[in-house]
Amino acid sequence: DFGRSSELAFVVEPSDDIAVQEQPLILYCQVEGIQPITITWRKNGAMIVDSENAFMLANGSLYVSRFQRVRGDGSSDEGEYDCMAQNHYGLLVSRKAKIQAATMSDFHIHPQNAVVEEGGVARFQCQIHGLPEPVILWHKNSMPVNTDNERYTLLPKGVLQITGLRAEDSGIFHCVATNIANVKFSREARLTVSGSHSTVYKDPMILVGPENLTLTVHQTAVLECIATGNPRPIVSWSRLDGRPIGVEGIQVLGTGNLMISDLTVQHSGIYVCAANKPGTRVRRTAQGSLVVQAPAEFVQHPQSISRPVGTTAIFTCVAQGEPPPQITWLRNGQILETSDHIKLKNNNSTLSIYGINQADEAIYQCLAENSAGSTQASARLTVLWADGLPSPPQGVRAETVSATTIQVSWEKPLQNTKEIIGYVLHIRKAADPVEMEYQEAVSKSTFQQLVTDLEPSTSYSFYIKAYTSRGASKASEVTVVSTLGEVPAMPSLFIKVINSTTVQATWEPSIKLGQHEGFKLYYRKVHLSQYTGPVLLASNVTAYNITHLDASVVYEVKLLAYNQHGDGNSTVRFVSLRETVERTVLNPPCDCMKDEQNNKTSTTGIIIGIHIGV
In the chain, the amino acid numbered 113 is N
One-character DSSP codes across 479-544? EEEEPPP----PPEEEEEEEETTEEEEEEE--TT--S-SEEEEEEEETT-SPPEEEEEEETT--EE
446: phi then psi, degrees, rounded to nearest 5? -105, 135
Q: Give 470's DSSP letter.
A: T
Contact yes or no for 253/222 (Cβ under 8 A): yes
User: Can you name the residues that pair with 93 across neighbouring β-strands?
Assistant: 84
In the predicted structure, residue 607 carries a pLDDT above the cut 60 = no
- Structure confidence at residue 599 (pLDDT): 41
In the chain, the amino acid numbered 579 is E
Query: Mean pLDDT, to the nearest integer, of 566-595?
Result: 63
Distance CA 284, CA 279 (A): 14
One-character DSSP codes across 302-333? ---EEEETTS-EEEE-EEEEESPPEEEEEETT
In the chain, the amino acid numbered 285 is T
- Structure confidence at residue 108 (pLDDT): 94
Contact yes or no for 184/136 (Cβ under 8 A): no
- Structure confidence at residue 598 (pLDDT): 39
CA distance from start to end of the chain: 93
Distance CA 356, CA 411 (A): 23
In the predicted structure, residue 551 carries a pLDDT above the cut 50 = yes
Distance CA 97, CA 78 (A): 10
Distance CA 350, CA 344 (A): 6
- Structure confidence at residue 595 (pLDDT): 40
Q: How many residues does the chain have?
A: 614
Kindly report, residue by residue over 167-210, the tens digit of the pLDDT.
999 999 999 999 999 999 999 999 999 877 667 778 899 999 99
- Structure confidence at residue 134 (pLDDT): 95
Q: Which of 322, 326, 208 is nearest to 268 (CA)?
A: 322
In the predicted structure, residue 491 carries a pLDDT above the cut 60 = yes
Q: Which residues does 135 contact at the CB level (< 8 Å), separation at least 6?
A: 177, 178, 179
Q: Give 391's DSSP letter.
A: P
In the predicted structure, residue 326 carries a pLDDT above the cut 50 = yes
Distance CA 113, CA 142 (A): 16
- pLDDT band of residue 520 (cuts 50, 70, 90) is very high
In the predicted structure, residue 284 carries a pLDDT above the cut 70 = yes
- Structure confidence at residue 578 (pLDDT): 73
Q: Which domains does the chain have, with CATH numbers?
A: 8-101 (2.60.40.10), 114-287 (2.60.40.10), 301-384 (2.60.40.10), 394-482 (2.60.40.10), 492-603 (2.60.40.10)
Q: Give 45's DSSP letter.
A: T
In the chain, the amino acid numbered 146 is N
C-alpha distance from residue 591 to each of 4, 504, 505, 513, 559 (Å):
68, 22, 18, 15, 12
More confident residue, 198 or 379: 379
- Structure confidence at residue 141 (pLDDT): 96
- pLDDT band of residue 511 (cuts 50, 70, 90) is low
Kindly report, residue by residue over 120-129, the tens digit of the pLDDT.
899 999 999 9
